[in-house]
Amino acid sequence: MLKQIDKAATRERIARRAEREIKNGFYVNLGIGMPTMVANYIQPNKEMVLQSENGLLGIGKSPLQDEVDPDLINAGKETVTAATGASYFSNAESFAMIRGEHLDLAILGGMEVSETGDLANWMIPGKMIKGMGGAMDIVHGAKKIVVIMDHVNKHGEPKILNQCKLPLTGKQVVDRIITDRAVIDVKEDGLHLVEVADGWTVEDIVASTEAKLQIGEHVILASY
């Protein structure tokens, strides 16, 4: 099913839906790329704290032009603001928080996710990268892992697969997948379709997903 896609609007929709995963009292890490957009849509009535692996606890919204401080950046080297009461610390202390399982939720980008919750998001063979980053620690340290990504790649091929083809970040680590088309939970018995986004049908989701989906009676249609 061919559709005209507005990439900016799609990314915003995914980020807005991902924000609903954040609950009051949560300590949350947002991964590089699209996950950082989630910070812009956090509801003001939510009491939560964003943690950056490079040493900032209490990230605020993206800065306006006159608010930019080049010394305040997230793990993706994007400028950020510090919320009231924010604290700064070393990279080592940050990873002690992550490895100590003090994060309630991590929202990460993904290149591929398998039917068993394996995640590939850190490199494409043959392409230059600066390093593996902190995702390999985060996927094992955070209590819940939500992956946000496009449902298919730029060639229209599925990104939710029977088995990942790219190098893995972690095995059986993903709890929920949020794409531009659907919300899918990873459970012990496989992938469960939970929600279908506006403009798509259950049939569309099945056709654009390589891995088998379990579809119950309570799938929410047109939910975001």
For the residues 24-33, what does the mean pLDDT come to? 96
Q: SS3 string of 152-203?
A: ECCCCCECEECCCCCCCCECCCCCEEECCCEEEEEECCEEEEEEECCCCCHH
- Given a cut of 80, whether residue 138 has pLDDT beyond it is yes
pTM equals: 0.94
CA 7, 112, 75, 83 torsion: positive or negative?
positive
pLDDT in tens, 167-191: 999 999 999 999 999 999 999 999 9
Structure letter (DSSP) for residue 38: G
pLDDT in tens, 70-113: 989 888 889 999 999 999 999 999 999 999 999 999 999 999 99
Catalytic-residue membership of 112: no
- Given a cut of 90, whether residue 128 has pLDDT beyond it is no
Give the pLDDT of residue 3.
55
- Given a cut of 60, whether residue 38 has pLDDT beyond it is yes
Give the pLDDT of residue 1.
46
Residue of 208, 212, 211 whose CA lies nearest to 156: 208
Give the pLDDT of residue 101.
96
CA 84, 89, 91, 97 torsion: positive or negative?
negative
Could you tell me what percent of the chain has a pLDDT over 70?
Answer: 98
